[in-house]
């Protein structure tokens, strides 16, 4: 079979003959309608319909509703006012978002405040929680519900954060937060320091303006 030509012959009707090899080569190159032959133009351009154009290798075209498999962005891509999606991603990485903490065993009392903020980057969760007690609060064994479910650490006793307990006008104490959300305080025990739970009178009797501050980092499920 004749190879597909690399230049035009400029043949003339009723003057030049078309041989079978020429026609077959043309059909092999272009392909029949709805061709399943992957080397034909019909197969390669089957997704181009109506006024659509094929995408060039180096030109600038706008693609809509396309799924890219294993795409790679230019590492030096500039974030401009027209790069809507990239700017949106950029502006949401490392942004602290407010949430309403839930702490079992705690009643704020009149005028008390409870605030929380968390930040997510991938599966890395950071959080901070601040409590300031109002009038006639109640405090027992404390458990914080994490804003995002934690990954399986293999143990619920894994420590993910620090806790600061303020006895207003008197002193302060430190503790920890576990991946289960339990708040423990440090307690001197002989020659060592151990972890123990918080209660209404331990590490002090809770009252107006006392505070609890929590910071933590953990992996999301």
Mean pLDDT of the chain: 87
- Judge if 114 and 203 occupy the same domain: yes
Distance from C-alpha of 132 to C-alpha of 138, rounded to nearest angstrom: 12
pLDDT at 113 over 90: yes
102 or 57, greater pLDDT: 102
Domain that holds residue 30: 17-49
- Judge if 22 and 131 occupy the same domain: no
Mean pLDDT of 15-34: 74
Rounded to an integer, what is the distance from CA 8 to the centroid of its chain?
A: 55
Query: Could you give the 3-state DSSP secondary structure of residue 159?
Result: strand
Please tell me the total count of domains within the chain.
2
Mean pLDDT of 101-113: 98
87 or 148, greater pLDDT: 148
Helix H, strand E, coil C: the string for 97-138 is EEECCEEEEEECCECCEEEEEEEEECCEEEEEEEEECCECCE
**Domain annotation covers residue 77:** no
pTM of the model: 0.64
- Judge if 140 and 41 occupy the same domain: no
pLDDT at 107 over 90: yes
Contacts of 187 (CB under 8 A, 6+ apart): 193, 194, 195, 196, 203
**Domain annotation covers residue 54:** no
Contact (Cβ atoms closer than 8 angstroms) between residue 4 and residue 41? no
Confidence of residue 197 (pLDDT cuts 50, 70, 90): very high
Among 65-79, 134-148, 177-191, whose mean pLDDT is lowest? Answer: 65-79
pLDDT at 190 over 90: no
Q: Which long-range contacts (CB under 8 A, 24 or more apart) does 199-205 make?
A: 199/139, 199/140, 199/141, 200/138, 200/139, 200/140, 203/165, 203/167, 203/173, 204/165, 204/167, 204/170, 204/171, 204/173
Of 198, 199, 206, the closest CA to residue 178 belongs to 198
pLDDT at 40: 85
Query: Could you give the 3-state DSSP secondary structure of residue 55?
Result: coil
pLDDT at 63: 81
- Judge if 189 and 109 occupy the same domain: yes
- Judge if 104 and 206 occupy the same domain: yes
Q: CATH number for the domain including 150?
A: 2.60.90
**Domain annotation covers residue 2:** no
- Judge if 125 and 36 occupy the same domain: no
CB-CB neighbours of 71 under 10 Å: 7
pLDDT at 51: 80
pLDDT at 102: 98
Tens-place pLDDT, residues 118-131: 999 989 999 999 99
- Judge if 31 and 122 occupy the same domain: no
């Amino acid at each position: 079979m004749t190879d597909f030509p690399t230049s035009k012959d400029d043949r003339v009707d009723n003057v030049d003959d078309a041989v079978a090899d020429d026609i077959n080569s043309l059909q092999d190159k272009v392909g029949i309608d709805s061709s399943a032959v992957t080397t034909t133009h019909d197969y390669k351009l089957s997704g181009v319909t109506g006024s659509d154009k094929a995408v060039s290798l180096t030109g600038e075209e706008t693609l809509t509703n396309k799924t890219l498999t294993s795409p790679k962005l230019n590492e030096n891509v500039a974030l401009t006012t027209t790069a809507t999606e990239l700017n949106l991603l950029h502006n949401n990485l490392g942004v602290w978002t407010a949430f309403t903490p839930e702490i079992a065993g705690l009643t704020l009392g009149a005028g008390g405040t409870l605030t929380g903020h968390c930040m997510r980057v991938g599966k890395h969760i950071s959080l901070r929680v601040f409590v300031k007690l109002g009038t006639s609060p109640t405090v027992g064994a404390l458990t914080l519900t994490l804003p995002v479910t934690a990954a399986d650490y293999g143990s619920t006793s894994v420590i993910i954060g620090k806790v600061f307990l303020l006895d207003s006008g008197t002193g302060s104490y430190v503790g920890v937060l576990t991946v289960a959300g339990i708040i423990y305080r440090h307690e001197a025990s002989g020659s060592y320091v151990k972890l123990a739970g918080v209660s209404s009178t331990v590490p002090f009797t809770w009252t107006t303006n006392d505070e609890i501050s929590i910071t933590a980092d953990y992996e999301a499920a």
